[in-house]
């Protein structure tokens, strides 16, 4: 299997449900995003090395080579590579090698370039990876978004279930979700919301409690008690669940990402 078989790039069109649109900015530019999905099980080491050589900035190469532990090195490489692939698709006029994915003060990924021809200041990036997937989302900072992918293990069932409030348990039970489905849904939803808020998982879990969970044709939609301005879309998968958080009044036009 080649690198092209392991990588899926999806351009997402968005629309707003109200007249406020995107404020004072150009809606056509703001209301779009690009999702990169790398099937790590299908990407061999040689193809990954070629992609890294083609897409990584020198600063990223240096950071990669500085990791002593293989696991940390692999996770950094997978996440950054997904981000650079998404950037190349989102902005075809920008050379991804001229842009570095750095870490902000809360360890959130940010796009940085010293090249005057690479205007990435208006763009946001969200990154996630699991054992089987690396995903990244490029979007306009005027329209905040966050992404997460994971497949919690059986060892995670108890701790996650113990941390759920009674209302969340009732919502999940009403959808007839199994314990594994419940923790997968809540795990990725919380992570993607936390990334959108730039809090990480440093706040009490009760803060991210959903007010409503509904089932859609291809997954689930969560809305929140404390963050009514956001919604999270979640898509289940055999090797991982994908979550994407975005403003509550935004919809896909015409449809969301294909998963897996």
- Read out DSSP for 34-93? EEEEEEGGG--HHHHHHHHHHH--HHHHHHHHH--SHHHHHHHHHHHHHHHHHHHHH-TT
Residue 2 has what pLDDT? 59
In a domain, 27, yes or no: no
One domain for residues 162 and 131: no
Residues 165 and 219 in one domain: yes
pLDDT of residue 150: 97
Burial 176-207 (b: 16+ CB within 10 A, else e): ebeeeebbbbbbbbbbbbbbbbeeeeeeeeee
Q: What is the total count of domains within the chain?
A: 2
Q: Examine the domain organization and report whether 101 and 177 are in the same domain.
A: no
Residue the block writes with tokens 């075809």:
92
Choosing from 142, 177, 194, the residue where a domain stops is 142
Q: Are residues 118 and 51 in the same domain?
A: yes
CB 242 within 8 A of CB 149: yes
Q: What is the pTM of this model?
A: 0.93
Q: Tell me the pLDDT tens digit for each residue of 138-186.
A: 999 999 999 999 999 888 888 888 888 999 999 999 999 999 999 999 9
Output the pLDDT for position 38: 97
Question: In the structure encoding, which two tokens stand for residue 39, read together?
Answer: 């099937």
In a domain, 7, yes or no: no
Q: Is 258 within the bounds of a domain?
A: no
Cα–Cα dist 169/15, whole Å: 32
**Is residue 66 a part of any domain in this protein?**
yes
Q: How far is CA 121 from CA 58, 124, 139, 200, 254, in A?
A: 19, 8, 11, 22, 28
* Inside any domain, residue 257: no
Cβ-proximal residues to 137 (8 Å cutoff; 6+ apart), any chain? 33, 34, 35, 36, 86, 125, 126, 127, 145, 146, 147, 244
Q: What spatial distance separates the first Cα and last Cα of the chain, rounded to whole Å?
A: 17
Q: Tell me whether residue 78 is in a domain.
A: yes
Q: What angle do CA 226, 231, 234 make, to 5 degrees?
A: 125
- Residue 160 and residue 112 share a domain: no
- In the structure encoding, which two tokens stand for residue 256, read together? 């969301």
User: What pLDDT does 1 receive?
Assistant: 47
Q: Are residues 243 and 163 in the same domain?
A: yes
Residues 166 and 233 in one domain: yes
Position 192 scores a pLDDT of 97
pLDDT of residue 25: 61
**207 belongs to a structural domain:** yes
Measure the CA–CA gap between 78 and 23, rounded to whole angstroms. 35
**pLDDT for 176:** 92
Task: Please name every residue paired with 243 in a beta bridge, in sequence order, or none if there are none.
Answer: 148, 234
Same domain, 219 and 133: no
Sequence length of the chain is 260
Query: Which portions of the chain are predicted below pLDDT 70?
Result: 1-2, 19-26
User: Is residue 233 domain-shared with residue 133, that is, in the same domain?
Assistant: no
Instruction: Choose one of 99, 122, 142: the last residue of a domain.
Output: 142
Residues 169 and 204 in one domain: yes
**Residue-number span of the structural domain to which 199 is assigned:** 149-252
For residue 191, what is the domain's CATH number?
Answer: 3.90.470
In a domain, 19, yes or no: no
**Domain check: are 118 and 180 in the same one?**
no
Of 142, 165, 195, which residue constitutes the final position of a domain? 142
User: What are 141's strand-pairing partners?
Assistant: none
The CATH number linked to 52 is 3.90.470.20
Please tell me whether residues 238 and 175 are part of one structural domain.
Answer: yes
Specify the pLDDT at position 252.
Answer: 95
């Amino acid at each position: 299997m080649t690198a092209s078989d392991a990588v899926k790039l999806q351009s997402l069109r968005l629309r707003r449900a109200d007249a406020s649109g995107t404020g004072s900015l150009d809606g056509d530019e703001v209301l779009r995003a690009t999702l990169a999905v790398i099937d790590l099980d299908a990407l061999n080491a040689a193809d990954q090395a070629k992609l890294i050589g083609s897409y990584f900035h020198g600063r990223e190469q240096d950071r990669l080579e500085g990791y002593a532990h293989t696991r940390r090195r692999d996770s950094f490489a997978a996440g950054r590579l997904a981000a650079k692939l998404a950037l190349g698709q989102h902005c075809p006029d920008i050379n991804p090698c001229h842009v570095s994915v750095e870490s902000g003060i809360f360890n959130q990924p940010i796009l940085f370039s010293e090249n005057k021809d690479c205007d990435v200041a208006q763009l946001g990036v969200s990154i996630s990876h699991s054992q089987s997937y690396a995903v990244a989302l490029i979007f306009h900072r005027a329209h905040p978004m966050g992404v997460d992918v994971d497949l919690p293990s059986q060892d995670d069932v108890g701790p996650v279930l113990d941390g759920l409030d009674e209302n969340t348990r009732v919502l999940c039970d009403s959808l007839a979700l199994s314990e594994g489905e419940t923790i997968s849904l809540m795990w990725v939803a919380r992570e993607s919301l936390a990334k959108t808020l730039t809090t990480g998982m440093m706040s009490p879990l009760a803060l991210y409690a959903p007010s409503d969970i509904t089932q859609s044709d291809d997954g689930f939609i969560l809305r929140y008690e404390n963050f009514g301005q956001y919604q999270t879309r979640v898509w289940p998968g055999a090797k991982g669940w994908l979550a994407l958080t975005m403003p509550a009044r935004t919809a896909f036009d015409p449809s969301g990402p294909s998963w897996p």
